[in-house]
Amino acid sequence: MDEIQNEKVEQLVNYIMKWSLWQFNSREWDREKQNEEILKKTMQILCDEPVDNGTPEARYYWSEAMILSSDFKTNFEWISQMKKTEIKKLMEDLKNRIDYLTITGSLNAELKVKRY
């Protein structure tokens, strides 16, 4: 990841950390699913792609993604200038970084507890 891309990712990470809660569900498997679904749907919304919201579960993820994508567009005007391929790469890098901070690199010893 080049420096400019890294800076953009960190800005988005910082925003999510300051304003969102969905990335901090209490178990590793739950965080994996939350990060995957919400960031995928956010990417789809930002790229004007169709988004599945047909089940209650999908609709929940979509609701979170609608808020996040709107916030990204409002707070980071440079996103609107990006091509769809660039947005997809940006969101992929963002997902990897969020996964690292909340799951793979996390110091939270409770993440691997099997029961809630």
Partner 1 sequence: MPYHTFKCSKCIPERTKHAVIKGHGEDLTSCLPLGYLNTIPGSISERGCAFCGAKHVIGTPMKDVIHLCHGPVGCTYDTWQTKRYISDNDNFQFKYTFATDMKEKHIVFGSEKLLKESITEAFKAFPEINRMAIYQTCASALIGDDMDAVAQEVMNEMPDVDIFVCNSPGFAGPSQSGGHHKINIAWVNQKVGTVEPKITSDYVINYVGEYNIQGDQEVMTDYFKRMGIQVLSTFTGNGSYDDLRSMHKADLNVLECARSAEYICNELRERYGTPRMDIDGFGFKPLSESLLKVGLFFGLEEKAQKIIDEETARWKPELDWYARRLKGVKVCLWPGGSKLWHWANVIHEEMGVEVVSLYTKFGHQGDMEKGIARCGEGALAIDDPNELEGIEAMMELQPDVIFTGVRPGEVAKKLRVQYLNAHAYHNGPYKGYEGWVRFARDIYNAVYSPIHQLSGFDISKDEIDMDNGFVTKNIISDAEIDREASIANNEREYTGKYDCVTHLREKTY
Residues that bind partner 1 (CB under 8 A): 17-19, 21-22, 24-26, 30, 56-57, 59-60, 62-64, 66-67, 71, 100-102, 105-110, 116
Q: Smaller CB distance to partner 1: residue 51 or 90? A: 51
Nearest approach, Cβ of residue 60 and partner 1 (Å) = 4
Of 45, 95, 92, nearest to 67 (Cα)? Answer: 45
Asked if 87 contacts 5 with a C-beta cutoff of 8 angstroms, the reply is no
Helices assigned H by DSSP within 1-116: 3-19, 28-46, 56-75, 84-99
Q: Smaller CB distance to partner 1: residue 50 or 105? A: 105
Three-state secondary structure readout of 23-38:
HHCCCHHHHHHHHHHH
Nearest approach, Cβ of residue 33 and partner 1 (Å) = 11
Q: Smaller CB distance to partner 1: residue 24 or 78? A: 24
Nearest approach, Cβ of residue 57 and partner 1 (Å) = 6
